[in-house]
A and B are shown apart, each in its own frame.
Chain A
C-alpha cells in the first residue's frame, strides 16, 4: 500500500502525466459540481425553512460558511505543498501551491464580504474588529502576500521556496481562526457544525450546507486543475512532451 502510494506520488509529480490526468478529469468534475450546486441551491433556497431567529437572512450561510471553510482548506493545501516543495523539491507541488493562492484569496474575500452582508442586518454592523473577523482578514493578507512575493522574485525556483516558507509559517493562523470564537469573547458566534458534540443545526439546513461545501471543494479542484494545466504548459513550453502534444 505504502509502496503503491509512493509510486503514485512520483507519477503525479511528472508534469506530462499530471497534465493529461487533470485534462481527462475536468469534464467529470464539472458534471459533479453542477449536480451538487443545483441540489445545494435548491435545498438551501427553496426547501430549507426559515430560521427561528434570523428568518430568511440566514440563507447567506450556504455561501458564507462553505467559502470560509474553503479559505482555510485551501491554505492547508498550500502549506502541505510548501512542505513538499522544501523537503522533496517537487516542481509540481510548487505549481499547485502558487495556483492555489488566487483561488484561496477569492474564497477568503467571498467569506469576508458575505459575512459582512450578513452582519449588517443581524448584528447591526458590517464590520467589527473582533478576533474571528480580524484573523480571517489576516488570512486574506497571507494569500495576497504569497501571490505578491511570488511575483516579486524573478528566479522562479527561488520564488517557489520563498512562498513555501511563507505558506508554512502562515499555517499558524488557521487554528487561531478556528478557535478565535472560543478563546476570546467575540461578536461572531461559536462553531455550528465542526464542534465535538452534535451540530446544532436542523438537518433540513445541514444537508444543503454540506452539499454546497462539497460543491465548493469540487469547484476548487476544477479551478486548480485549470490553472495548473495553464501554468505547466507555460513552464514546460520548451520540453518534448509539450511539443508532441501540439505540433501537428
Chain B
C-alpha cells in the first residue's frame, strides 16, 4: 500500500472510531428513553414515572386472567419473575394474548398501585416450532433458550 493510501485509510478509521464513540455516549445518555418498557421490578423500585403514561412489560401470570364485567374489561397480574403488578384493561386484546404470554401494556398507575392500561401489545419469543414439537418439549421438561428470561 502506498503511503498516501495508508494515510487515507488511517483517516477513515479515526473518523469512524470518533463517531462511534460519540454515538455510543449519546445512546448511553438516552438509555432510559430508548427503553421501550419498564418491568414490574422497576415499578416496585419506584423507577417508573408517576402521573405519566409509560409502558410495562412482563409475563401474564397463569390463572390470574379475570373478566369481572360483561364487556371487554380484563384484569390480570403481570410478572418479571421478581415483582408483580396488577393490570386492568378495557379493549380488544391481540391474538397472542394468553396466560404465560409476554405482553406490554401502555398506561399509568392509579393510587392503589394498579396499572390502568390503554393499550396492550403481545410480545412473542424468538422460537419457531411446530406445535407437536413444542408439546413434546414441554412434556419432557425441556425449555427453549430465552423462554424464562427475566422480564420477558
Q: Which residues of A contact B (CB under 8 A)?
A: 49-54, 58, 61, 83, 86-88, 121-125, 128-131, 165, 168-169, 171-172, 176, 183-187, 189-192, 197-198, 200-202, 204-205
Contacts and interface: CB of A to CB of B under 8 A. Distances in A.
B45 interface: no
Contacts of B126: 189-192, 200
B63 interface: no
A169 B104 CA distance: 34
A86 B8 contact: yes
29 contacts: A51-B131, A52-B131, A52-B135, A58-B128, A61-B128, A86-B12, A87-B5, A87-B9, A122-B95, A122-B124, A123-B94, A123-B96, A123-B123, A124-B119, A124-B122, A131-B34, A165-B15, A168-B15, A184-B35, A185-B152, A186-B36, A189-B123, A191-B126, A192-B126, A192-B127, A198-B145, A200-B146, A201-B128, A202-B129
Interface string B92-129: 01111000000010000000000000011111111111
A168 B13 CA distance: 10
Given A86-B12, A87-B12, A169-B16, A54 B124 contact: yes
Interface of B: 5, 8-9, 12, 15-16, 19-20, 23, 27, 31, 34-39, 57, 93-96, 104, 119-135, 144-146, 151-152
A197 to B, nearest CB: 6
Given A54-B128, A122-B122, 9 more contacts: A87-B8, A87-B12, A124-B93, A124-B121, A168-B12, A185-B151, A197-B145, A200-B125, A205-B128
A187 B129 contact: no
Contact of B123 (A50, A129, A187): A187
A168 B20 CA distance: 11
B96 A122 contact: yes
A87 B7 CA distance: 9
A50 B134 CA distance: 12
B35 A189 contact: no
B58 to A, nearest CB: 11
Contact of B96 (A54, A87, A205): A54
Contacts of A169: 15-16, 19
B1 to A, nearest CB: 8
A130 B31 CA distance: 12
Nearest to A48: B130
